[in-house]
Amino acid sequence: MSQFPKVILFLVFSTQWLAAEVDFAHQIVPVLKEKCAKCHMEDNKKGGFSMNTRAAILEGSENGRVVTPGDGAGSYLYEAVTTDDPDLLMPPKGERLTAAEAELLKQWIDEKLPWQAGFTFGEESYEPPLKHRPVDIPKIEGPEIYNDIDRLVADYFKSHQNEFPPLVSDEVFIRRVYLDLIGLLPDTEKLESFLADNSPDKRARLIESLLADGVNYTAHWLTFWNDLLRNAYRGTGFIDGGRKPITDWLIPTLKENIPYDDMVRQLVSPTTDSEGFINGIKWRGDVNASQTREVQFSQNIGQAFLGINMKCASCHDSFVDRWKLDEAYNLAAIIATEPIEIHRCDKATGKFATAAWIFPELGNIDAGADKKVRLQQLSELLVHPDNGRTTRTMANRIWHRLLGRGIVHPVDAMDTEPWSEPLLDHLANYFKEQGYDLKALMAYIANSRIYQSRSMVIEDESFLNDGYTFAGPVARRMAAEQYVDAIEQIGGVITGSSRAVPVHIPRAEIKSVESKIRWLELFDLKKATPADKKAGYRIRAQFDVSPKDLTEPQIFAQVNTGLSDQVKINGKPVSDLKTGKIIDIKTYLKPGQNDLEILFPAKSRAYYIWNAFVKSGDDFLLHSGAIGHWEWARGVGGEPEWKKPRFLNSSGHPAARQISRINPGPAKIRDEILRKKYPNLHIARASLRDNDLLQRALGRPNREQIVSMRENRLTMLQAMDLSNGESFSKLLNRSAENLINTLSKHPDEVITSVYEKSLSRAPSDLEREISRDIIGQKMSRESLQDFLWNIVMLPEFQIVQ
């Protein structure tokens, strides 16, 4: 980026350095139980001070406040556990806190007392119902009531002396619903059409049309499911086969809107394409007993489908809820192929787990059956018609995604009392009645008055429901993938199509392109005879073409080669291919196996790049250039003796694998085909690409663990990346360059276009004036990049309002 403008209209988020967060369950609970329980827990309330709940701690004692959230050093509790004054020291008798324990307590207060939702040091705790429960819908009517969700919310508001927030404007609504349902910004044409429409049902029709956009719905919600099912494209475990992606299963499943109960069945009693979820990661070397594949299975089943924490219970009986070590291991035994010894805190107990389900009221697992049968039984128990835990968990996740905060919050603490039990039960019942249709649930929520209401900003969102009163939707930051997509949308780099997918997703809805550069050493030139040098050599390979592909109008290919004389497909010369041109090769192909042959003169080295594409309708599909086996032979005539080649890297040393990967293809292909000849094909959405430095900084996880809620706060790393990060600069540069090439040179056209695309509104007079100053009289790529930077740093841009 060029030097930032001297005058910046826009507000940049204030940030603070975030240290590693304290672990409440494992670092705070044991200390408080050991050192504070006798005087301040359960029925004990010495000095009027109870520590049973976070709310009780915040209430303080009969002498006033005991802790000040955010100020550990200034809190009386910290002073009491560190003082040398015997009249103030706590605990007054017995072993005092160590210096390390006191510092943890201080950090915990500094972080505003994060607390496990639903946890109490007292005897009573909330136990959610297992089965579905009928809900009596209040008979409430009025302008705020769009559906039964609103009736339940209105009833809640009445009991909490609250009322519906105002409706959002059409400009805010269209931007919100686009980002929520398909993860994109509305384009200018759609925005203008929606604003001009005076039909009373236009919002409902927009919701319906967005959910019908299977391609973009899939690309957006892939982020949610990849996080929840710990599905990644590369990373830990992939090199040695200790981890398997489920992308080939997940993409068509989302696009076809497979019912959620069937999704669960296919994940838990899996197909070959979906088995990566339950298999987890095989870590290299020795691992803690709580990280074996079987125990990972227990943790992932509990968290993903039931919203319960089996991680604590897979090491010891949980400190924060009712789940026990034996229950976690018995769940793990369902997938085991040999007996599992129970380990407590990584030490063997001598006891062995028995395959069992954690809610026997619904049925159980036949521990004597083989693994396949046990997994089938578990999958049916998870989606049992009476299992309200599974439906409530998913209904709560979707509510959280669309309104910013769960009815139970955090969403993986489903043993916590919801702020509205009737609403959560109603959404779970609706989800089940609609045949576990995820899109139907989303549409139901999005069509409610409460979803379409003005959002609020929660400055200090506690981990706990204590003291939380629902008042409406919560403003949310864009996810990393949304942010990247939005910037590329503004610049016209992507315009909404997800048709192209990168090389790491084979056999997806759009097949991938495989681009490889390999050097071939066929014989030693120094030892070659004159006849060898004159004869030259050839290479050949086989690739498959499906009959379905041959029904398409055109099939294109490109072979870039070094020193090649000729290329043949099924024995027919295709001489234009050797130049690297992209040509239609359909007439050369046949169903099934096809032969590709490249002839070379007598040289010691050569290289090739192979790409193939299929054009289908208005879309240009990137088709796998799957070449399974190459062979070579001396001479260009007669019946050759085919041999396996040696592959070298660019330095001339043996290479067992490709030395270069181009994603999604060579720049020449991207420029010539993707941008010009086929404008309906655009680069892949960010969710379909590998994680990169910018997306990681913006919160995209590596997915070695389940992530059901991403951090909603801006970190110092993100602030630095958005100020001067190289990846971010390149992203802005790409969009700025595309704007220069596609829009007129008049600054006002650029300003209006960018504001409408990014914020779904026109610029004010002041914004237009300042934007002109930033762009300058002679618009350049650098000045346009500065202008874009100012726009995308706006809270109004980064926040889903």
How confident is the model over 343-361, as pLDDT tens digits?
A: 999 999 999 999 999 999 9
Amino acid (one-letter) located at 626: A
- pLDDT score recorded for residue 533: 57
- pLDDT score recorded for residue 601: 62
What angle do helix axes 747-759 and 765-775 make, rounded to 10 degrees? 120
Looking at the chain, the whole-number percentage of residues with pLDDT higher than 70 is: 75
Q: How many Å apart are CA 36 and CA 30, to the nearest integer?
A: 10
What angle do helix axes 214-228 and 202-212 make, rounded to 10 degrees? 70
Are the CB atoms for 440 and 432 separated by under 8 Å?
no
Comparing CA positions, the residue from 62, 63, 94, 78 lying closest to residue 28 is 78
Residue 365: count other Cβ atoms within 10 Å of its Cβ: 22
- pLDDT score recorded for residue 450: 98
Which segment of 157-171, 269-283, 419-433, 684-698 scores lowest on mean pLDDT? 684-698
- Which position has the higher pLDDT, 542 or 559? 542
Q: How confident is the model at residue 661 (pLDDT cuts 50, 70, 90)?
A: very low
As a whole number, mean pLDDT of residues 29-40 equals 85
Q: How many Å apart are CA 759 and CA 26, to the nearest integer?
A: 44
As a whole number, mean pLDDT of residues 61-80 equals 86
- Which position has the higher pLDDT, 511 or 290? 290
- pLDDT score recorded for residue 611: 53
**CB-based contacts of 637, cutoff 8 Å, min separation 6:** none
Does 258 score more than 70 pLDDT?
Answer: yes
Bridge partners of residue 73, in order along the sequence: none
Does 615 score more than 50 pLDDT?
Answer: no
Amino acid (one-letter) located at 576: D
In order of 570, 576, 591, 628, 767, the CA distances from 594 in angstroms are: 6, 18, 8, 12, 60
Are the CB atoms for 435 and 417 separated by under 8 Å?
no
In order of 323, 520, 661, the CA distances from 657 in angstroms are: 48, 12, 11
pTM of the predicted model as reported, rounded to 2 decimal places: 0.73
DSSP assignment of 705-743 equals S--SS---SPPHHHHHHHHH-HHHHHHHHHHHHHHHHHS
Amino acid (one-letter) located at 412: D
Does 190 score more than 90 pLDDT?
Answer: yes
Which segment of 265-274, 401-410, 462-471, 692-701 scores lowest on mean pLDDT? 462-471
In order of 170, 347, 404, the CA distances from 206 in angstroms are: 11, 57, 21
Task: Note the residue count of the chain.
Answer: 801
Which segment of 147-151, 507-511, 531-535, 638-642 scores lowest on mean pLDDT? 507-511
As a whole number, mean pLDDT of residues 694-708 equals 92
CATH class (in words) of the domain with range 509-677: mainly beta
Question: Where are the strands (E) in 24-145, listed by range?
Answer: none
Q: How many Å apart are CA 111 and CA 70, to the nearest integer?
A: 6
Q: Give Cα 17 distance to the centre of its chain.
A: 24
Which segment of 126-135, 283-292, 676-685, 714-723 scores lowest on mean pLDDT? 676-685
- pLDDT score recorded for residue 576: 65
Q: How many Å apart are CA 176 and CA 186, to the nearest integer?
A: 9
Q: How many Å apart are CA 326 and CA 139, to the nearest integer?
A: 47
- Which tokens hold the place of 399? 């509510």
Are the CB atoms for 427 and 139 separated by under 8 Å?
no
In the chain, domain spans: 4-110, 134-212+389-475, 219-382, 509-677, 716-800
Question: Where are the strands (E) in 356-422, listed by range?
Answer: none
Q: How confident is the model at residue 10 (pLDDT cuts 50, 70, 90)?
A: very low
**CB-based contacts of 285, cutoff 8 Å, min separation 6:** none
Q: How many Å apart are CA 523 and CA 600, to the nearest integer?
A: 13
Does 672 score more than 50 pLDDT?
Answer: no
Are the CB atoms for 406 and 708 separated by under 8 Å?
no
Q: How many Å apart are CA 150 and CA 160, to the nearest integer?
A: 15
Pairing of strands 341-344, 347-352: antiparallel
* Average pLDDT score, the chain: 80
Does 466 score more than 80 pLDDT?
Answer: no
Which stretch, 94-103, 116-125, 388-397, 723-732, has highest mean pLDDT? 388-397
As a whole number, mean pLDDT of residues 108-129 equals 80
- pLDDT score recorded for residue 118: 66
Q: Give Cα 25 distance to the centre of its chain.
A: 26
Which stretch, 195-209, 609-623, 717-731, 738-752, has highest mean pLDDT? 195-209
How confident is the model over 468-498, as pLDDT tens digits?
A: 889 999 999 999 999 999 998 898 776 544 3
Does 238 score more than 50 pLDDT?
Answer: yes
Are the CB atoms for 517 and 659 separated by under 8 Å?
yes
As a whole number, mean pLDDT of residues 439-455 equals 98
Q: Give Cα 152 distance to the centre of its chain.
A: 31
As a whole number, mean pLDDT of residues 769-785 equals 89
The dihedral region occupied by 672, where left means phi > 0, alpha psi between -120 and 50, and beta the remainder, is: alpha
Residue 573 DSSP one-character state: E
As a whole number, mean pLDDT of residues 654-668 equals 32
Tell how many helices (H) and how many strands (E) occur in the chain.
28, 15
- pLDDT score recorded for residue 600: 66
Are the CB atoms for 456 and 475 separated by under 8 Å?
yes
Q: How confident is the model at residue 502 (pLDDT cuts 50, 70, 90)?
A: very low
Does 140 score more than 90 pLDDT?
Answer: yes
Are the CB atoms for 622 and 497 separated by under 8 Å?
no
Q: How confident is the model at residue 151 (pLDDT cuts 50, 70, 90)?
A: very high
Does 523 score more than 80 pLDDT?
Answer: no
How confident is the model over 526-544, as pLDDT tens digits?
A: 455 566 556 666 777 666 6
Q: How many Å apart are CA 614 and CA 301, to the nearest integer?
A: 39
Q: How confident is the model at residue 575 (pLDDT cuts 50, 70, 90)?
A: low
Q: Which residues of 711-721 are buried (b: 16+ CB within 10 A; e: fewer)?
A: eeebbebbbeb
Are the CB atoms for 566 and 599 separated by under 8 Å?
yes
